[in-house]
Amino acid sequence: MGLVEEPVISISGLWMNYSDRMVLRGIDLKVFQGQIIGYIGPNGAGKSTTVKIMLGLVEGYNGKVEIFGRDIADGDTAYKRRIGYVPEVAELYDSLTAREYLTFIGELYGLKRSSADNKAERLMTLLGLEKSYDMRIASYSKGMKQKVLLISSMLHDPDILFLDEPLSGLDANSVMIVKEIFASLAARGKTIFYSSHIMDVVEKISSRIILIDAGSIVADGSFAELKEKSAEGSLEEIFNQLTGFDKYRDIAGEFVACMQEVSPV
């Protein structure tokens, strides 16, 4: 009998409501080592909520969430040392330099200050930011800040990376480097779980795409598999079809008409 691979993430019957609003409606999901998961869905579908629950940042859910085979509700937070996170809206300490920020984060993850500093400086240099390492983050451009966030999530060599719009603000060359980093990490058995609204990127870099709509999973498979099940060609079209959206022309038309209305004086 062959070995049965254990999932690194296992979610069963996950329900979540905020006051009287049901946000997640029975999510069931198993994620395995080496997968690059594109977790997609319309605004407000419940993507960030799912990720925040897995990170232990949101409580009060129903269902079971296991990371590395352990129920995260059992109180043992050791799993957090083995995950990295790039949030949707990041609190970067603008008054710190990247050196100060990244060595601080490295130490939080248990690295020695000198090794965190050394590693961070080399990673910054690889992403073209060597000259900015000792500059305050406040002076960074959007893309430069995103690179610092990506480095901060990977400094401690995590086994699972959770990323929200990981390529946000990056130029075309940097996008190619980061995509290659993800592929290389996945080939080494790391798991990448990211959300993005940029469908052509999701189409290209995910080994598995999970589409959530109004708190439920409505599609789960590789891009080729999703394409087979749908009459549509691109992921954008599949997304529109599965979320029942076909009104973009009408909405845009009405929007422009409304903008151009001349109000009576």
CA distance 113 to 12: 39
CA distance 190 to 175: 19
Q: 65: part of which helix (H) or strand (E)? A: strand 62-67
Residues paired with residue 136 on neighbouring β-strands, in sequence order: 97
Q: Does 13 bind ligand ATP (CB under 6 A)?
A: no
Q: Does 245 bind ligand ATP (CB under 6 A)?
A: no
CB of 119 to ligand ATP, least distance (A): 31
Binding residue for ligand ATP (CB under 6 A) from 9, 14, 38, 46? Answer: 46
Closest of 130, 141, 126, 139 to residue 99, by C-alpha: 130
Q: How many residues lie near ligand ATP (CB under 6 A)?
A: 11
Q: Does 57 bind ligand ATP (CB under 6 A)?
A: no
Q: Which stretch binds ligand ATP (CB under 6 A): 46-54, 65-73, 135-143, 167-175?
A: 46-54
- The residue among 8 and 45 lying less far from ligand ATP, judged by its C-beta, is 45
Tell me which amino acid residue 195 is.
Answer: S
CB of 44 to ligand ATP, least distance (A): 4
Q: Does 43 bind ligand ATP (CB under 6 A)?
A: yes
CA distance 77 to 22: 27
- The residue among 18 and 245 lying less far from ligand ATP, judged by its C-beta, is 18
Closest of 18, 31, 28, 30 to residue 63, by C-alpha: 28
CA distance 265 to 250: 28
- The residue among 61 and 101 lying less far from ligand ATP, judged by its C-beta, is 61
Closest of 18, 103, 5, 7 to residue 52, by C-alpha: 18
Q: What is the DSSP letter of 89?
A: S
Q: Does 14 bind ligand ATP (CB under 6 A)?
A: no
Q: Does 156 bind ligand ATP (CB under 6 A)?
A: no
- The residue among 47 and 147 lying less far from ligand ATP, judged by its C-beta, is 47
**Which residue shows structure tokens 């080939």?**
187
- The residue among 93 and 245 lying less far from ligand ATP, judged by its C-beta, is 245
Q: Which stretch binds ligand ATP (CB under 6 A): 39-47, 135-143, 223-231, 238-246?
A: 39-47
CB of 72 to ligand ATP, least distance (A): 17
Q: Please list the alpha-helical segments (H only) found in the chain.
A: 47-54, 98-108, 113-126, 142-154, 172-187, 199-205, 223-229, 235-242, 248-260
CB of 210 to ligand ATP, least distance (A): 12
- The residue among 43 and 263 lying less far from ligand ATP, judged by its C-beta, is 43
Residue 197, both tokens: 């609204």
Binding residue for ligand ATP (CB under 6 A) from 13, 44, 69, 253? Answer: 44
The residue ranges that bind ligand ATP (CB under 6 A) are 18, 23, 41, 43-49, 88
